Amino acid sequence: MPPKETLAAAGDILRALAAPVRIAIVLQLRESERCVHELVGALGVTQPLISQHLRVLKAAGVVQGERNGREVLYRLVDDHLAHIVVDAVAHAEEG
């Protein structure tokens, strides 16, 4: 059994992934790094909402951002998290 701290950290990651918009963001970032306005266009939600969800994902260590001029490009920290999301979506589609 992993230590309690590890289980708590895993729970934090799963909670961060528990919103449909955040799942969609992870799926977008799985393809390539994106800036906020690209995510707004791809997902059809407002910029403040995307920014709020990115803050949650960043705080959980799911995404990281790198400034590129006036924009911040976001990318997944690693592929493990994308696999979790892809597997969850596939499971949901199986019904």
Q: Give the H or E element holding residue 36.
A: helix 36-43
> For residue 94, is pLDDT > 90?
yes
pTM score, whole prediction:
0.93
Tell which residue, 74, 15, 21, 77, has the closest CA to residue 44.
21
Q: pLDDT tens, 2-32?
A: 999 999 999 999 999 999 999 999 999 999 9
> For residue 68, is pLDDT > 90?
no
Question: How far apart are the C-alpha atoms of 58 and 37, rounded to whole Å?
Answer: 17
Place 72 in a pLDDT band, splitting at 50, 70 and 90: very high
Question: How far apart are the C-alpha atoms of 12 and 39, rounded to whole Å?
Answer: 23
With H, G, I as helix, E, B as strand and everything else as coil, classify residue 95: coil
